[in-house]
Amino acid sequence: MNPTILLVDDEKDVCSALNRTFRRNNFKVFEANSGEQALDVLANNNIDVIVSDQRMPEMTGTQFFSVVKNLYPNVGRIILSGHSDIEDLQEAINEANIYRFLPKPWDEKQLLETVNSAIPQAISISKRFHSSERQLIRSYDQPIVDAATEQKKQALSQSIKTNTLLLEEQSYDSFNDKSPLTYLNVFWPDFASIKHASIVDLVNDSEECQILFSWYLLSVIKHMEKYEGGERVFVIDLFYEGFAREPSLLKALEDVLKKQPKTIFRLSFESLMENDFTCFLTENDYYKSSVILDVSEKIINVNELKDTPILYLEMNCKNNAINNHSLTEKRLKMIAEAKTIGVNVVLSNDQLQSQQNYAKSIGVDFF
């Protein structure tokens, strides 16, 4: 059965152009020129995905999606707007829990990919509202720990929507560079024992990752306002790998740099190689020294970093790493090679004693 899509825009020419695109790609298409008309269509048809304009008279896209979220939670929701300012993005996340926020004029390939990815998203959301049925199926072939993880994911989703998460500062020192780095991490008051990395892990395999990341960036921007023009060096975690393909998120990152130019981005090597992000760094004159590369417990060829904006390598110093002598020797060699190209090292574990033990074990005068 062909997927069904509802197009909502007060400009009929826009609806017609979108209609042609989706019909060519085997969608069954419905149109509406207002939020009220769209609700009538939804009441009488089974819709998989909605693409709506944001700035419409009487009812904005986010106001419309706030209603849809409650009445039809299994429908994928995408905002398409020529006004991708930060207020619209915040409203879309907090009130309507949208799947994506795309700009006008749109890129047809990107739009089709986003809509297609929103279809399984709709199925996933629907499953949340049948918890008893899901638990029955789960009891046959999944361990109890998976059910607990699913409950935490749902609780986190609710915390994102109700804006009850917080941003938390955490300071780390680095080898060879005594300037402290201030990490901006997600803090979850309802589960205070679950740290930033664990919260990110919870959403990394789900549709909530983009929503959490958007919330995180908005919170970072507000936080930066208190330190605008200051000397502190902040670390922003780009944990959502799709950020470079989201124009609204790149716009939010630009706002971060305006608030606090002394910002360092923490990301994976794969994300760094995204063309959109390297263009973003170049356009903002920020390519020479702006990135912490999270290598966790990996060993990498440092020479590959010569032409990248890597300023730090971040390594995890868990006890299993401290006790692994082979890994320790390889890391010591990696640190020495990094020094030769001006790259410093940060230990990401927040336990002071573990950091001291690890630094001593690899022969580095860290403190």
Better pLDDT: 141 or 302: 302
Q: Is residue 271's pLDDT more than 60?
A: yes
State pLDDT tens for residues 86-123.
566 666 665 556 777 787 888 888 889 888 887 754 44
Better pLDDT: 310 or 213: 213
Q: How confident is the model at residue 32 (pLDDT cuts 50, 70, 90)?
A: very high
Better pLDDT: 96 or 157: 157
What is the C-alpha separation between 347 and 174, in angstroms, rounded? 7
Tell me what pLDDT residue 51 has: 94
Instruction: Please state the rounded mean pLDDT for residues 342-361.
Output: 71
Tell me what pLDDT residue 30 has: 94
Tell me what pLDDT residue 113 has: 85
Instruction: Please state the rounded mean pLDDT for residues 330-349.
Output: 80
Q: Is residue 127's pLDDT more than 70?
A: no
Q: Is residue 137's pLDDT more than 60?
A: no
Instruction: Please state the rounded mean pLDDT for residues 202-214.
Output: 78
Tell me what pLDDT residue 179 has: 67
Tell me what pLDDT residue 89 has: 62
Q: Is residue 283's pLDDT more than 80?
A: no
What is the C-alpha separation between 196 and 356, in angstroms, rounded? 22
In 10 A of CB 18, how many CB atoms? 23
* SS3 state of residue 163: coil
Tell me what pLDDT residue 222 has: 84
Q: All domains of the chain, ordered by start, with CATH?
A: 4-128 (3.40.50.2300), 152-361 (3.20.20.450)
Q: Is residue 142's pLDDT more than 50?
A: no
Instruction: Please state the rounded mean pLDDT for residues 122-150.
Output: 42
Give which of 200, 247, 248, 254 is closest to 90, Cα–Cα: 248
Lowest average pLDDT, out of 58-72, 81-95, 108-122, 199-213, goes to 81-95
What is the C-alpha separation between 113 and 152, in angstroms, rounded? 29
DSSP letter for 364, please.
-
Tell me what pLDDT residue 125 has: 38
Tell me what pLDDT residue 31 has: 94
Instruction: Please state the rounded mean pLDDT for residues 50-61.
Output: 86
Better pLDDT: 151 or 51: 51
Long-range contacts of 271-275 (CB under 8 A, 24+ apart): 271/238, 271/241, 271/243, 271/244, 272/308, 272/309, 272/310, 274/244, 274/245, 275/244
Tell me what pLDDT residue 117 has: 80
State pLDDT tens for residues 173-202.
665 556 678 889 999 887 877 888 888 888
- Burial code (b: 16+ CB inside 10 Å, e: under 16) for 206-242 equals bbbbbbbbbbbbbbbbebbeeeeeeeebbbbbbbbbe
Q: Is residue 278's pLDDT more than 70?
A: yes
